[in-house]
Amino acid sequence: MNETQGSLKQYFANIREAVTSVSKGMGITFRAFLKSNGMRKQLGSVDYGAGPVTVSYPEVKDDIPLNSRNRLFNHVEGCIACNQCAVICPVECITIDSRKKTADENLDERTPAEFGSKPKKLKLLRYEIDEALCCFCGLCTEVCPTECIVHTPEFEYSKYDRDKLTYDYLNFKDDNPLPKG
């Protein structure tokens, strides 16, 4: 085989390889297309099921898993200001201020039953979380003795101003709906 024949052979081998790889890629795309449109469930020996594989977000929102970790919320009526969440937080994004109660305050106050009826010995003065720093590890929710701090389903809370991502839960205000439960 002379040099010209070798180059020609390589030329056609490259074309063959390009056609083969494009065909494989398009095959994957076509199978995904069939699946997304629910046109058929079976292709060869593979069952792809039926129905769309995505939704038209944000007009349509998919269900998020129940145990997903999104924006935090502190039900402060259940908070005993024990500081455990702030101590365990790996990024130190929880700020708590509290003081001992004075005699003219309700020294027998307890958290509501849904938060374990724990004694509230301290007066909570400030409870803030900088959600811009939070890494959603969930440790604060794990250690909380009253389970008053929870991850909510809220994941759409982008802000133009970073400072607005610090949430003051004693004076909670937000343009997003308040999380429930």
Minimum gap (Å) between residue 29 Cβ and ligand SF4: 39
Residue 96's φ and ψ, nearest 5 degrees, are -125, 135
For 7, the enclosing helix (H) or strand (E) is helix 3-37
Minimum gap (Å) between residue 141 Cβ and ligand SF4: 7
Minimum gap (Å) between residue 148 Cβ and ligand SF4: 5
Rounded to whole angstroms, the Cα distance separating 178 from 72 reads: 11
The residues of the shown chain that bind ligand SF4, judged by CB under 6 A, are: 72, 74, 79-85, 88-91, 93-94, 96, 129, 134-140, 143-146, 148-149
Contact call for residues 84 and 107 (beta carbons, < 8 A): no
Minimum gap (Å) between residue 131 Cβ and ligand SF4: 8
Minimum gap (Å) between residue 75 Cβ and ligand SF4: 9
**CB closer to ligand SF4, 35 vs 84:** 84
167: alpha, beta or left? (left if phi > 0; alpha if psi -120 to 50): beta
**CB closer to ligand SF4, 35 vs 120:** 120
Rounded to whole angstroms, the Cα distance separating 129 from 107 reads: 27
Contact call for residues 100 and 107 (beta carbons, < 8 A): no
| 164: nearest Cα among 138, 129, 124 | 129
